[in-house]
Amino acid sequence: MTDYGAERGKGPRRRKWKTIIAIAAFVVITLSAVAITNLISKHNIIAASTASVQADKVVGLPCRPGTPQGELGRDDAWMMFQFNDAQYGRRIGHVDCAISADKASQSGFKGVCQFSSPAEIKVVPKNGPPVYFETGLGVAATTIVSDAGVTCMMAGSFQ
């Protein structure tokens, strides 16, 4: 039976769909705002870190290639830590790491670590074999890990 006097589209089913659409719109707008905020924050962090590190101004001789045992003859004496999906090790000294903008990288940045006097350095990139360097005692060194690989220079402005 049809009720010809009733108004169409104003029943409880109509209100239910309006509520669902309003909630979905709210969720989409909120998620979009969070994503945009995160992108802006990431951009600001990379810019600030790049300004403080100044990786392009670090110039020095390349570090000598090393071995897992190094001068100590032991592979177990590494002080290991992780930064930006890479593992780093040093025999002694202090280290300070930051990120620097890298337009050639898929991630948009590269990892830069400055060592005070490491003697030897071990870097294990996310997708690659361990790389070893020897710097000698009392020599500052800087490593840069990017999509292009791992580099090490016997120079740095460790603070």
pLDDT in tens, 118-129: 889 999 998 889
Distance from C-alpha of 121 to C-alpha of 156, rounded to nearest angstrom: 14
Q: What is the mean pLDDT of residues 58-67?
A: 85
Distance from C-alpha of 43 to C-alpha of 75, rounded to nearest angstrom: 38
How sure is the predictor about 159, in pLDDT bands with cuts at 50, 70 and 90? very low
Q: What is the mean pLDDT of residues 8-30?
A: 76
